[in-house]
Amino acid sequence: MMLRFVAVRGGLGLLAVRRACLLSRSAHSAPQTEYRPIKKVMVANRGEIAIRVFRACTELGIRTVAVYSEQDTGQMHRQKADEAYLIGKGLPPVAAYLHIPDIIKVAKENGVDAIHPGYGFLSERSDFAQACSDAGVRFVGPSPDTVRKMGDKVEARSLAIVAGVPVVPGTDSPISSLQEAQAFAQTYGFPIIFKAAYGGGGRGMRVVREYEELEENYQRAYSEALTAFGNGALFIEKFIEKPRHIEVQILGDKYGNVIHLYERDCSIQRRHQKVVEIAPGFQLDPQLRDRLHADAVNLAKQVGYENAGTVEFLVDKHGKHYFIEVNSRLQVEHTVTEEITDVDLVHAQLHVCEGRSLPELGLKQDKIRVNGCAIQCRVTTEDPARGFQPDTGRIEVFRSGEGMGIRLDSASAFQGAIISPHYDSLLVKVIASGKDLNTAASKMSRALAEFRVRGVKVGASAMFRFVLVLHQQLSLCFRLRFMLLLPPWK
């Protein structure tokens, strides 16, 4: 018998019909009282992460809704969605995306089932997750209580201790004065580091190496945290010199199942901002890798973690690891995990939000395998001649590097695009995949060499060459060469 699908305006279309058939067959194995399909998703964000989520939704037959500020009227993420609505009229650009009442109002007026926060902006705000719940709209992420616990680095640290996960020596609660910082430094010695208690991404983070720098860095960290997160609370840790930054991708469902999807090495950073990420972690001791995975899963189970998240660790020169934080959201670098595991993390987020279990989705720990290696570089609109300060303007010429094993995630990477001074300087994420690190690095080097950009400066943080050399005992190691100035684009 032949079936004919007719596309009608406002209908779900072929993908949605296929999805409905698949879900009806699997419904018998899912808890009936929990499963609720999602028909329309809003992304409370902009740029490449909004487009990334829209694409996943379209593949699943889910209708998409974009929101945009007045300054983003012509941005690509608005055009990629099925529907788009203005928020924050009269507000500054960033403030528009932080205006919870407008976002909730648009969601309720337009039949939105779920809101995906992306990363940044409201993604780690428990009050936003709670506002979604109060409005009867699902939040694609952990529960409001879990977001609150993980967003409070001090509470997250306490939970890690209860779960038996090692932590860096630090304060048990946010400090309220310079005198407390001075007392901590006297006890543990320098260097120490200030960290924002209610946010991440390098903001509100200051390393102090001697007493004379303490007061100035305390004031700067407080001001940065207050500006970025609306709360200047800080806590202090002993600063671990030249550690590796290893993070473990976790995924949990509503039924207590938690798995890890291996780890990423995010040690290559500038001003506490990641610029190159590698999965899996390179040259990790197998026993250390197992401990990192086990600690990440144990901590997630300790808090009843649902949806996607990342548990971050520092590893010192002796191979000892320390918990630093949980990011209760999708990470910028989630791409490399997807490439090595063949798991679409946004698909998984949406399915878990609908109430499906990890086993039902085929996501069991013994089924997750690492396939090769992946590297992500962030090409940013930054001027190397001005200390990598953000550069803005119109892109006059744009040609990207492509080809087998290369994935590009972007939103404004095209000729004629206007680079705004109001947002992050990320232009495009370049992800290279191969059977091993050497293959992935070769593909990345070739792809980046093909880029041609004119009109705005492009940060050298992503223009690199990996050099693989034989090191002690014939083990492979790598080093990164940053190009201080770009070659002339022609």
Instruction: Answer whether residue 270 is part of any domain.
Output: yes
Q: What is the pLDDT of residues 339-388, one digit of tens each?
A: 999 999 999 999 999 999 999 999 999 999 999 999 999 998 988 888 88
> Does some domain include residue 343?
yes
User: Which of 271, 281, 289, 400 minimizes the C-alpha distance to 336?
Assistant: 281
Most confident of 137-146, 422-431, 469-478: 137-146
Name the domain boundary from 205, 238, 271.
238
pLDDT digits (tens, 9 = 90+) for 209-234: 999 999 999 999 999 888 888 888 89
Range with the poorest average pLDDT among 14-18, 425-429, 465-469:
465-469
227 and 268 within one domain = no
Provide the terminal-to-terminal Cα distance of the chain, rounded to the nearest Å.
58
Average pLDDT, the chain: 86
76 with 122, same domain? yes
CA distances (Å), 113 to each of 31, 36, 44, 416, 484, in order? 19, 10, 13, 35, 47
Number of compact structural domains in the chain? 3
Average pLDDT over residues 418-422: 88
Band (459; pLDDT cuts 50, 70, 90):
low
Question: Is the per-residue pLDDT at 192 higher than 80?
Answer: yes
pLDDT, tens only, 93-106: 999 999 999 999 99
319 and 229 housed in the same domain: no
Q: Do residue 226 and residue 119 come from a single domain?
A: no
pLDDT of residue 25: 45
Please report which confidence band the pLDDT of residue 468 belongs to, taking 50, 70 and 90 as the band edges: very low
Set 46, 329, 356, 378: catalytic member: 329
- 69 confidence band (pLDDT: 50, 70, 90): very high
Q: Which of 10 and 162 is assigned the larger pLDDT?
A: 162
Q: Which of 164-168, 444-448, 481-485 has the lowest mean pLDDT?
A: 481-485
Q: Does residue 488 lie within any of the structural domains?
A: no
Clarify whether residues 62 and 182 are in a common domain: no
Is 103 exposed, middle or buried, given 0-12, 13-18 or 19+ CB atoms closer than 10 A? buried
User: Rounded to 5 degrees, what angle do the CA atoms 152, 43, 31 make?
Assistant: 80
Any domain includes 333? yes
pLDDT for the residue numbered 197: 84
| pLDDT value at residue 19 | 53
Which CATH number belongs to the domain containing residue 191 in this structure? 3.30.1490.20
Does residue 310 share a domain with residue 178? no
Asked if residue 182 and residue 135 are part of one domain, the reply reads no
Say if pTM beats, i.e. exceeds, 0.75.
Answer: yes
Whether 490 maps to a domain, the answer reads: no
Q: What angle do CA 332, 68, 147 make, to 5 degrees?
A: 45
Measured in whole angstroms, the distance separating CA 257 from the mean position of its chain's CA atoms is 22
- List pLDDT tens digits, range 224-275: 888 888 888 898 989 988 899 999 999 999 999 999 999 999 999 887 789 8
- Domain harbouring 31, CATH code: 3.40.50.20
Say if residues 315 and 288 touch (Cβ distance below 8 Å): yes
Residues 426 and 389 in one domain: yes
Radius of gyration of the chain, Cα coordinates, nearest whole angstrom: 23
Same domain, 229 and 290: no
156 in a structural domain: no
Would you state the pLDDT for residue 173? 83
Report pLDDT for 280.
98
Examine the residue annotation and report whether 329 is marked as an active-site residue of this protein.
yes
110, 231: one domain: no
Do 283 and 181 lie in one domain? The reply is no
Both 53 and 112 in one domain: the answer is yes
Q: What is the mean pLDDT of residues 427-448?
A: 95
Q: Which domain holds residue 206?
A: 169-238
Query: What SS3 state is found at 33?
Result: coil
Confidence of residue 203 (pLDDT cuts 50, 70, 90): confident
Q: How confident is the model at residue 1 (pLDDT cuts 50, 70, 90)?
A: very low
- pLDDT recorded at residue 235: 86
- Whole-number Å distance between alpha carbons of 415 and 412: 9
Q: Could you tell me the pLDDT band of residue 467, with boundaries at 50, 70 and 90?
A: very low
For residue 287, give the CATH number of its domain.
Answer: 3.30.470.20
